[in-house]
Amino acid sequence: MVEDSMAAAANGKATNGTNGVASPEKLWTPSWSTERNMDKFRLFINERFAIDLRDYHDLYTWSVTKIADFWESVWIWSKIKHSRSYEKVVEDAPMQKIPKWFLGARLNFAENLLPYNDEHLAIIATGEYGRTEKLTYSELRERVRVFAGALRAAGIGVGDRVCAYIPNCVEAIVGMLAATSLGAVWSSTSPDFGVAGVLERFSQVKPKVLITVNAIVYNSKHYDHLDKVRHVVDGLTELSRVVVVPFVEGKSTDLSGIKGATWLPDFLATSDDGPLIFEQLPPDQPVYIMYSSGTTGLPKCMVHSALGTLIKHKTEQTIHSSLQRNDVLFYYTTTGWMMWNWLVSGLATGLTVFLYDGSPFKPHPGRLMDLVDEHGITVFGTSAKYLQSLQEVGAIPRESHSLASLHTILSTGSPLRPESYDFVYRDMKKDVLLGSISGGTDIVSCFVGQNDTLPVYKGEIQCRLLGMAIEAWDINGHPVLDEEGDMVCVKPFPCMPVAFWNDTPERLKYMAAYFDQFSGVWYHGDFLRINSKTGGVVLLGRSDGTLNPGGVRFGSAEIYHIMSRFLPEIADTLCVGQRQGADERVVLFCQMAPGHKLTDALRSRIARAIRDELSPRHVPAKILPIADIPHTINGKKVEVAVKKIISGATVVPSGTLANPECLELYKNIPELQV
């Protein structure tokens, strides 16, 4: 069945919607003066296999039909550095068994991200903290060597966890490369997370070393970070070292009360001063631990492999985007978002990675556009929300800035509104590839996204990415085109998580996350529509209960954890997203305990607690009273049904509901009509 459905969707033979879809407006056509890497790769495939793939759609269909041949070709074409070659490309196993890739090979992730030892710029870093730092590839390698020596002297080795509670700075990249050069596993989150949010993540993976900073600057304000660090360290019992970067000079210099804390220069002085050695490890060696949004409890800890992450990022960056050494790659991100991991992989191409830490709108809305012109940024990565906000403040970057260096704009985090496509091509730059991309922390990469050999159509993501057998399935598990369906991937791919940390031997958490909805295929939890005419994709939002306001994904469980402290005033709560076009806002319903009311003062206390413990982005847009909260018979809150109701959908109550009559309470709530 899977084989037939994959082929049907890839070749445009799946069921078509009865009404079809209107042809979208074409906004951009490639006009490159040189042949793109996508074309070069297609010709490489034609020669290697004596076939005649004539365009991207031919190449895509081949890539999801001949998956072993495709991924082996990427390995060869992108020159994966390894010390021992593979014996077999992919294990013969069903997708839900998580097949192993490139069996028998040995390699190191960090070694592949440090392909050069020359004077070409590897990193440019700046931000609201007020300085700009530049590192060449030779300087970066030396920094990594010293840092790795200090970690080694601290007893860090293969499989140990090194965590970072750190802004988007040079030290984050150096620390990650040093840790992974030794075979340690890296996991990071950003300073905007509160203590509870950090401990929910890091306490599960039990790091031996924590890397952090003394203070940060955001929105033109200085914030002490060490007080939060003290509380985090108290909750991490396995820590042996806390390395503090003096990130903001003259601020927050007291390390007393932080167990095992030392300043970065003192830590580096303990380095064994040995050579930079890259531990040679199997392809499925864990390199990153990423975190789910925590919808149903503690965030799930997704373990990503060295080879899976590397080969997928190379496919997206060097084949789909034709990135070269002369590119300057920027993505506005924090270390707590997977786009940081994606950005850092640009080093594998030998290009210049550009880091920025701070507000994108300080000291003025054009700050990031300034960086494009000042530093020759060629690829500008951001969120759909940023482009929308730039438009809303009336910015016209093409009038205020040159943007001459810019050839690609990437957007992710949430679906890109059609109006934002117009804004980019009207008010930013006409001759630029606008690539809306989408995937997830689950795969630390993308399922659908940019292609520099295809046109850009208004409101559409350009294509399904090579090697990713993406289909839209109806409720009965049949592939459809030109109509809404659940996103599934029906063939294995290398960047599937190799495991969930702390899962059961039967991988019950992993199976529940991706394989319970449809047997034997990866269910991603997005709604999408695939255009049979253009091959493009329209994302229609999440199909599960994950909250995603403005592209910031998090789970309701994080809110519930905070709300549990408001007993006895509040008896129960329900936190869901309400769709608003391509975006959504978070609504928190509070079932008040007898004798209590949801006053403005209580609303303020709730908002303050969530802001302080998690982040400002977790604060619900609406906090409303409700008479009853729906639950299943076994006591689980019913989020998805309420989300659909307040978003305007018709819902038939499930037989598993203990109190289905209460769903009527959520219809036509006046405060949610505006």
Q: Write out the E strands in 149-190.
A: 161-165, 185-189
Total-model pTM: 0.84
pLDDT at 23: 81
Q: What is the mean pLDDT of residues 183-191?
A: 97
Give the orientation angle of helix 56-65 with respect to helix 2-10, to 10 degrees: 170
585-625 pLDDT, tens digit per residue, is 999 999 999 999 999 999 999 999 999 988 888 999 999 99
Q: Does residue 560 come out as left (phi exceeding 0), alpha (psi in the -120 to 50 range) or beta? A: alpha
- Residue 624, phi then psi, degrees to nearest 5: -125, 150
493 closest CA partner among 311, 355, 318, 340: 311
Any idea what DSSP says for residue 652? P
Give the model's confidence band at 545: pLDDT under 50 very low, under 70 low, under 90 confident, else very high: low
SS3 486: strand
If you average pLDDT over residues 198-209, what whole number do you get?
A: 96
In the predicted structure, residue 653 carries a pLDDT above the cut 90: no
**Assigned fold of 555-672:** GMP Synthetase; Chain A, domain 3 (3.30.300)
Q: For residue 648, which amino acid is it?
A: G
Instruction: Give me the phi and psi of 517, to 5 degrees please.
Output: -70, -50
Q: What 3-state DSSP class applies to 197?
A: helix
Q: Distance between CA atoms of 576 and 663, rounded to whole angstroms? A: 14
pLDDT at 605: 96
| Domains of the chain by residue range | 2-107+285-327+378-542, 555-672
With 70 as the cut, is the pLDDT of residue 107 above it?
yes
Q: Write the DSSP assignment of 540-563 as a string of letters.
A: EEESSS-B-GGG--B-HHHHHHHH
- Give the model confidence (pLDDT) of 414-447 as tens digits: 788 888 999 999 999 999 999 999 999 999 999 9
- CATH hierarchy code of domain 2-107+285-327+378-542: 3.40.50.12780
Whether the pLDDT of residue 2 is over 70: the answer is no
**108/130 Cα distance (integer angstroms):** 35
Distance of CA 466 to the CA centre of its chain: 19
pLDDT digits (tens, 9 = 90+) for 10-69: 444 444 443 445 689 999 999 987 889 999 999 999 999 999 999 999 999 999 999 999
Nearest to 282 by CA among 545, 145, 84: 84
d(CA 591, CA 628): 6
Block residue for tokens 């998956």: 67
In angstroms, the CA 671 to CA 674 distance is 6
In this structure, what are the phi and psi dihedrals at residue 437, rounded to the nearest 5 degrees?
-125, 150
